[in-house]
Amino acid sequence: MANDDGKKEYMKKLFLTFLMIVGIAVSALAQASFKVVPPRNVIAGNVFYVTYRLTNGEGSSLNAPAIQGCKLLSPRPGISTMQSVEIINGHQTSSTTEDYTFTYRAEKEGSYTIPAASISAGGKTLQSPLSKSFLPTAPPPDSKVDITTSPRYASTI
């Protein structure tokens, strides 16, 4: 009886190892994608962030794109990396996401286009899809944002 329990435990471990290997192989075949995440609200004269997101790839060689009418405040991006592994009913999926965030300031009110960017990932060059447009709004009269005390901008100083 004890020998049967040992075989069952061994087969269980072997099966779980097989599932992990298959999951890793499938995630390695996942298609890399690259897109721009535009800012939601932009006020003329204030700081805003543009994020380029690479999914399922390790990127390099991303340069800050110039946005006409805006000043680039950080030529090097802030980079964050996220990894996700999910096992549901024995089926494993995994993904990685790298966010590259650049800081800009809108110089004046108007319509601006965020240009496409390209990044090297897995021996290929990926380009973000068509550019996004946004309209910075003028600040309300007699209102000023103090970036030294605003929680959103305090970490950038």
pLDDT digits (tens, 9 = 90+) for 86-132: 999 989 999 999 999 999 998 888 778 888 999 999 889 999 986 76
**Residue 34: predicted pLDDT:** 94
Q: What is the mean pLDDT of residues 4-30?
A: 67
Of 20 and 109, the structure prediction assigns the larger pLDDT to 109
| Measured CA distances, 131 to 8, 9, 28, 38 (Å) | 56, 54, 29, 9
Amino acid at 83: Q
**Residue 153: predicted pLDDT:** 44
Is the pTM value of this prediction over 0.75?
no
**Residue 141: predicted pLDDT:** 62
Of 12-16, 57-61, 71-75, least confident by mean pLDDT is 12-16
**Average pLDDT of the residues of the chain:** 80
**Residue 145: predicted pLDDT:** 54
Of 29 and 154, the structure prediction assigns the larger pLDDT to 29
Task: Give per-residue burial for 108-124: e unless 16+ CB within 10 Å, then b.
Answer: ebeebebebbbbebeee
Retrieve residue 87's tokens: 């096992």
